[in-house]
Chains A and B, each alone.
Chain A
Amino acid sequence: GESVGLHLPTLSVQEGDNSIINCAYSNSASDYFIWYKQESGKGPQFIIDIRSNMDKRQGQRVTVLLNKTVKHLSLQIAATQPGDSAVYFCAEKGGSGGSNYKLTFGKGTLLTVNP
Chain B
Amino acid sequence: NAGVTQTPKFRVLKTGQSMTLLCAQDMNHEYMYWYRQDPGMGLRLIHYSVGEGTTAKGEVPDGYNVSRLKKQNFLLGLESAAPSQTSVYFCASSYGLGGSGANVLTFGAGSRLTVL
Contacts and interface: CB of A to CB of B under 8 A. Distances in A.
Nearest to A94: B102
Contact of A107 (B42, B103, B109): B42
Contacts, number: 59
A42 B109 contact: yes
Contacts of B45: 102-104
Nearest to B112: A41
> Could you say which interface size class chain A belongs to?
20 to 34
Contact of A43 (B48, B90, B98, B103): B90
Interface residues of B, number: 29
A108 B42 CA distance: 6
A45 interface: yes
Contact of B103 (A42, A49, A105): A49
B107 A101 contact: no
A101 B50 contact: yes
A43 B50 contact: no
Interface of A: 32, 34, 36, 41-46, 49, 51, 89, 93, 100-108
Given A42-B109, A103-B45, 7 more contacts: A42-B110, A43-B108, A44-B105, A89-B43, A101-B50, A102-B48, A103-B103
